Amino acid sequence: MVFSMQQKHELPVLAIDLGGTKIIAAIVPHQGQVMAKEYFPTLAGEGAESVIGRILSAIDHLLRVRNMDSSQLDSISIAAAGAIDFDQGVVTSSPNLPGWHDIPLRDIVKRKHGVNTFLINDANAAALGEHHFGAGRGVNNLIYLTVSTGIGGGIIINGRLYSGLRGSAGEIGHMTIDVNGPRCSCGNIGCLEILASGTAVAREAIRRISQGEESSLTEMVEGKIENITAEKVGVAAQGGDSLALEVISKAATYLGVGMVNLVNIFNPEMIIVGGGVAQMGDLLLEPARQVVKERAFQLSARAVRIVSAQLGDSAGVLGAAVFAYGQPR
């Protein structure tokens, strides 16, 4: 399926990016700029019904702020974390959204607002966003990785999003890296996500400090080590904290192993790394690049560029809009 923003659409898309920690709502015209953007907490632990209520409230709020109603939209497009059946518009499961099993999110939103509504995986959407407007412009074969609360992915082959048979391709975070590793929230063992996500970075730092190791992180969180986050680990590492540096190096190595698999299977021109943890930049990416250099087939390893994403947290809403504009009406 080819997605193009060059069609003559006069009305904007209201795009939603539903993640494990926050909901982003934005108005996106066909030119691809983000007009208005608002943030809301997901509060995923409260369950699917409460989160859906916040999504609907976010849509209402954004329309009200822009003095618009649903009739002034081309469509609503939702990028959601998890395995998506986008033919049916259903979130089939989502490790970072507890209780989300076979939720017909597309139709719930469509019934409420009465406009065309589309549903896509959030990392697939971000891949489309970066391919059209970000680091992947002009690149026909790329893989997008988002490293944040969890790890997701999107695959662009010959300029097209590869979505698989039912739309659930690209669950890169749930490839097995360590068959004897910890259990992932998806139920599997040793997934890339449980080893290299922001959640994994924070958990490993907390584990080591709770066992008596010293770190500036303890002072940073005033002794409340349960408040350690991946962002704080990154700050400590940039300040030279040895424990933080080791934790990030370990996660980056696992990330690199995952990239080796992707490089050997897909031989991409580019791997784009986005998400909150990717804001660590070369602190995370350089060790991962080194693993790819050492372990991947050399022909493919020499060809691939591993780069940081350019669009920040706008990638998902931009990609959701790209996806919507490419759908038949």
**167-186 pLDDT per residue, tens:** 889 999 999 999 999 999 88
- pLDDT over threshold 70, residue 297: yes
Which helix (H) or strand (E) segment holds residue 145: the answer is strand 142-147
CA 100 vs. chain centroid, Å, equals 17
pLDDT tens-digit map of 54-113 = 999 999 999 999 999 999 999 999 999 888 998 899 999 988 899 999 999 999 999 999
Residue 9: predicted pLDDT: 61
Beta bridge pairs of residue 153:
145
Beta bridge pairs of residue 160:
157
Banded pLDDT at 149 (limits 50, 70, 90): confident
pLDDT tens-digit map of 3-49 = 444 444 689 999 999 988 899 999 999 888 898 999 999 999 999 99
pTM for the whole structure: 0.91
Separation between Cα atoms, residue 284 and residue 303, nearest integer Å: 20
Separation between Cα atoms, residue 26 and residue 321, nearest integer Å: 10
**Strand, coil or helix: what is 137?**
coil
Specify the fold of 137-310: Nucleotidyltransferase; domain 5 (3.30.420)
- pLDDT over threshold 80, residue 324: yes
Q: Give me the mean pLDDT over the 109-119 stretch.
A: 96
Transcribe 17-36 into DSSP letters. Answer: EE-SSEEEEEEE-TT----E
Q: Give me the mean pLDDT over the 253-261 stretch.
A: 98
Class of the 13-129+314-325 domain? alpha beta
- Which residues make up the CATH 3.30.420.40 domain(s) of the chain? 13-129+314-325, 137-310
Separation between Cα atoms, residue 121 and residue 279, nearest integer Å: 22
Residue 10: predicted pLDDT: 83
pLDDT tens-digit map of 197-225 = 999 999 999 999 999 999 999 999 999 99
Q: Is the dihedral of CA 168, 173, 176, 182 positive or negative?
A: negative
Pair type for strands 151-157 and 142-147: antiparallel
